[in-house]
Amino acid sequence: MPPLTLLTPPLTLLTPPLTLQPPLTRRGSGKVSSEKPNAAAFWQTKSLPDMTPQEWESLCDGCGKCCLHKLLDERDDLPEDAPMQLGEDLHYTHVACKLLNTEQGGCRHYPIRHRFVPGCVQLTADDLDSIHYMPPSCAYRRLHEGRGLPSWHPLLHDGSRAAMEAAGMAVTGYPVTSDERDEPSEATIVTWPLHDCD
């Protein structure tokens, strides 16, 4: 395996920097309301760019995979700080951002996380062409790729994380350490964040 480069902070993966928007609702709140019973869900009728900020934010399942530190293989043909290229292998580690609540999932300080981790990503519709760095199970990535929401997604379970955790799609089901205790390295690489299921 070629030498690896740590991507720091854990979510600053691509340049130019992603657009940061103030969150309107807590990510992964999972609450879906519909004025008409049996109405098609918003994610089935709207494109990602057409969603309201509240709809957009509710797509995040709160799995915490994006909060894990990641490594890229070093390449001689790219500068060390080059953004991830489509087709490159991204290696997830079991080392998480210090703000990730590893027991319950989710960020400990989501509304003000940029005060603690300035490079933390807030995905927007402008970022969809570079979403390949998100885990395959990410709802934003799945919808962008035309795959729909998985059966375990909290939006399909009245906001409950139980199906997601039972499917092994959340960091809460795996041993994860904080970047305050561990350094991401080749020895900390794990493959479970790459798992996806419908």
Is 34 part of any domain? no
Q: What is the pLDDT of residue 79?
A: 80
Phi-psi region of 102 (alpha: psi -120 to 50; beta: other; left: phi over 0): alpha
Chain mean pLDDT for the chain: 81
Percentage of residues in the chain with pLDDT exceeding 70?
A: 80
Is 126 part of any domain? yes
Q: What is the pLDDT of residue 27?
A: 37
pLDDT grade for 12, boundaries at 50, 70 and 90: very low
CB-based contacts of 56: which residues, under 8 Å, 6+ apart? 48, 124, 125
Is 173 part of any domain? yes
- Section 24-52 average pLDDT: 65
Is 30 part of any domain? no
In degrees, to the nearest 5, what angle opens at C-alpha 27 toward C-alphas 131 and 191? 50
pLDDT in tens, 22-35: 322 233 444 444 33
- Section 60-66 average pLDDT: 93
**Strands 90-96 vs 189-190: parallel, antiparallel or unpaired:** antiparallel
Query: How many structural domains does the chain have?
Result: 1
Is 163 part of any domain? yes
Is 27 part of any domain? no
Q: Which domain holds residue 51?
A: 4-19+43-194
What are the angstrom distances between the C-alpha of 168 and each of 12, 157, 188? 25, 16, 19
Count CA atoms within 13 Å of residue 92 on its CB side.
22
Is 86 part of any domain? yes
Is 37 part of any domain? no
- Section 110-132 average pLDDT: 88
pLDDT in tens, 152-183: 999 999 999 999 999 999 999 899 998 888 89
Q: What is the pLDDT of residue 7?
A: 52
Q: What is the pLDDT of residue 188?
A: 94
